Amino acid sequence: MRDNPVIKKLARGEPVFTTWLDLNCPLSVEIMAQVGFDALTIDVQHGHWDYSMLLNAFQVMTHTATLPFARVPVNEFSSIGRILDLGAMGLVVPMVNTAEDAQRAVDATYFGPLGSRSLGALRMDIVEAHRNYVQEANSKIFLAVQIESVQAVNNVEEIAAVEDIHCLFVGPGDLSVSMGANAGSDEHEGAIQHVVEVANNHGKYLGIYAEIGQIPHRLAQGFQFIVSRAESDLLLTGATDFLRDLLACGAE
């Protein structure tokens, strides 16, 4: 099975950078996979992906150095298994609010004895990069669970104690809404810092969504798995900057 350098980089204490992909377009995935991100995280929760396009997206990434990750739409056994069967090597599972939710994600992600994932990954049987998949998948699939509600923060000690989760991933936007507190406020940052302390106590890696200007602060806090922007944002920003420069040429 293909190696997972993301897990190795995290173990060395190095940061890992990825971005959301939300446009349901394998061609944009192919372009982004050549840029040099550690992984690309296809956002099946909030993006516009269907499963046939998701398969195509994973296929175009197979022979690049960029790993195929996905944020699953829901913490549900068959949904997680299907996305793994298509080729995801890392998962971000949303709205994990309790230890039971966390264990449900583990059970769906890993084959026995770690979990109860169903055997039947046809693509993994025929793609050379995934040979020995069943024997190696449990050690090479990255699992992050999202801490993005007041309930999750209150239960984070129990969530972090669940074995075989690699990363606690803070969703700062949803957490802000759940708390009824402004993002970046003392209350909001205090909740995030609590997650940091618990993750450190339990030996879990830390992940978060952050804009560019926030990343140095998050790295200093100990966050290693960093998601920033989406390819739709990058397309809009690039087009906006280009048009600004184009209009400036006409004004000269």
Active site residues: 46
List the structure tokens of 68.
């195929």
Beta strands of the chain (E only): which ranges? 16-21, 39-43, 67-71, 90-93, 142-147, 167-170, 205-209, 225-230
Contacts (Cβ under 8 Å, ≥6 apart) of 28: 21, 231, 235
Q: Which of 222, 105, 106 is nearest to 170 (CA)?
A: 222
Query: CB atoms < 10 A from the CB of 239, how many?
Result: 10
Burial class of 252 by CB neighbour count within 10 A (0 to 12, 13 to 18, 19+):
exposed
**Cβ–Cβ < 8 Å for 32, 242:** no
Query: CB atoms < 10 A from the CB of 107, how many?
Result: 16
Buried b (16+ CB within 10 A) or exposed e, 173-194: ebbbebbebeeeeeebeebbee
Residue 157: in which H helix or E strand, if any?
A: helix 156-160
Residue 61: in which H helix or E strand, if any?
A: helix 51-61
